[in-house]
Structure 1
């Protein structure tokens, strides 16, 4: 076991580098399960849209938007499932730290693609439902901004805040 202050364990943890890798891998798989399920359900609904009577009435822009949305959804799904495939192919080769770094990047990419898929799906839905392209664009942009705020900005602010608090505690000793 490593000391809690060593790089392998991190603050407040007494774990070996292998234990840390196992924990991080397990945590990442839990994250994959949540994101992957949502992406797969959305992707399934997107695939069914082309077989509805209303699809035939869409104009060129909306058909192209639909096509882009389906492609984004397929790429999001692939990126979110990829860490599982990597693990299956590379398990037992003592590559877990590499799998964690690569899987983390793929999850980030998958979440980005998922947010874009949702933004495009929202745009298509609102254009079709309201007939108001400007309203649809504004609401979809606001939706994407909300994703950026809650998925990127807020966690960054929380991290910065906690780093400042921890720095203040160390300086106050």
Structure 2
């Protein structure tokens, strides 16, 4: 077996099972970071409904609040999904597939987290500033998060694709 052209994902000294184990551990570390953030945000959001000022919110602001809570709950579900998936398939020799699905759930969770943060910012800025400035700042922040969270990865993947053949065609690649 020849050494892989791209050792960032596949190392020459690991078999597919070892690779899956390594990728799974990396995924869990990533999920821990994102999940902590979404849990803190969701916990804060859940307390808002019990504050005295909540009854003064307009119908639009209540809708934004409910949307924010639901997005936060959905993000929590997606970010916890890899743990549940792993627990349910452990012992069935499905770790490579679990890594792929866990990765997908994590990406969905990050997109939902972006929606949660954006709508929470919208609500806070509508209450603290004004509706007109809130929309502008939320737009700026969504672009900022997208630039930080997604653009570098997309750029690196595009650059990687243009510099090297697809993964299936790389020598020693396991997919």
TM-score for both structures, normalised by structure 1: 0.87
Residue 5 of structure 1 and its aligned partner are, at CA, apart by 2.4
Q: Is residue 35–residue 80 contact of structure 1 (8 Å, CA) maintained in 2?
A: yes
* Aligned position for 2:32: 33
Give the Cα separation in 2 of the matches to 1:114 and 1:12: 32
Give the Cα separation in 1 of the matches to 2:113 and 2:18: 31
Higher relative contact order (CA 8 A, sep 6+): 2
* Aligned position for 2:75: 76
* Aligned position for 1:14: 13
The answer for unaligned runs of 5 or more in structure 2 is 166-175
Structure-2 change in CA distance of 1:96 and 1:9 (3 Å): farther
* Aligned position for 1:53: 52
The answer for unaligned runs of 5 or more in structure 1 is 168-173
Give the Cα separation in 2 of the matches to 1:6 and 1:157: 19
Aligned length: 165
**1:119-130 equivalences in 2 (<5 Å):** 119-130=118-129
Deviates more, 1:151-160 or 1:140-149: 151-160
Structure-2 change in CA distance of 1:11 and 1:104 (3 Å): closer
Give the Cα separation in 2 of the matches to 1:78 and 1:133: 30
